[in-house]
Structure 1
Amino acid sequence: MPLAASEIETLFTRSDGSYLCARWGRPIVPIVFGVEDETLSVIKGAFEAVCALAGHQMAETDPEIGANVMVFFFRDWHELLEVPDLGRMVDGLEPLVQRLHQADANQYRVFRFDAQGAILACFVFLRMDKNLSAVPAETLALSQVVQTMLLWSDQAFTDQSPLGQLENGRVVLRPDIAGVIRAAYDPLMPAVADDASHALRLAARLSAASTQ
């Protein structure tokens, strides 16, 4: 069953009550730091799969910033302060690191936007604590890629993962979330929307797709 408009609306309604959905306005160029080549290929494969689902492009390089999705794997938040030029790309990096360290967080994403409000870049920070280290690489990669494809609510997946498990144990993207991503990347939809009526348009596309 496709999601109802009210369910879609909650996916993009932030904790302050505002509605905001944004998608990428340019091809995605990911780069990954802190993993072995085997894990790197898993992450790149997840980006390729979700971009294919969305009908969005990937590229070898971004003309402005080289790579526009940077995924960092590390053991301690303070390691980020040692990454050259990261403080120039992520505003307020030092207080952010302090806050995440104090909260004992194990993941965080920072988005940058273009003049129209579409996603321009994303920084994914993954502190490999005991919990994240226990997650299979394929599951972790797919979960993170899904959460970089759109600007979801900060509460979108706190109660339920965007992933589901098949009977054979394989982890896949939930069909309802896949449908939302595909609808949001419809060329007729805006790259950014801050009105909840946007959720009605997404729901209409999901409903139409389910009857085809």
Structure 2
Amino acid sequence: MSGYFVTFEGGEGAGKSSALTGVAELLNLQGYSVVITREPGGISISEQIREILLDKKNIEMDARTEALLYAAARRQHLMEKVKPALEEGNIVLCDRFIDSSLAYQGHARGLGIDHIYQINQFAIDHFMPDLTLFFDLKPEVGLARIQANQFREKNRLDVEHLSFHQKVYQGYQLLQKRFPSRIYSIDAEQSLESVIEASFKKIMLQING
């Protein structure tokens, strides 16, 4: 494949979605063809699964059911959108990918990172990002940002207890140690402009390196 696959990861309120949009604009200015997408979602089938996963009414959802739904949405999204875009030579910027499942369901839900990794390897057939940017922000700060943003719709994960989000953060830290050559940390407490600049510079370094 001639494209480049970058995933944006982090806890709730870390600002990765806003950073992704800013990075895409800078890449476009450099003449790169960029495809923006997200997980769960990005295509019709996966967006339908997203509605089930994030609906606040679905509080009775079993942790394994949740993990399998994320993996199913990921498979369809990968085959229908990500791989074709990469084959056309695009840079694909994706808001969340496999590391979200490893941190949220694997570590925070207590299902085990290795178990969730195996489930997802079946789903993505060992297809991993070229680069993952982890937006490093303490969960307390991220949740405070969400509460202060009156325009953001609160989903099922936003209303989890702080202890859950702390476990998510711990999960990402474990993943950084496990995949040091792929996962790069961005200080998400900086201004949005600084976060975008740091993210853009890292992507350019990787592409041109």
TM-score for the superposition, normalised by structure 1: 0.30
More helix, by proportion: 2
TM-score for the superposition, normalised by structure 2: 0.30
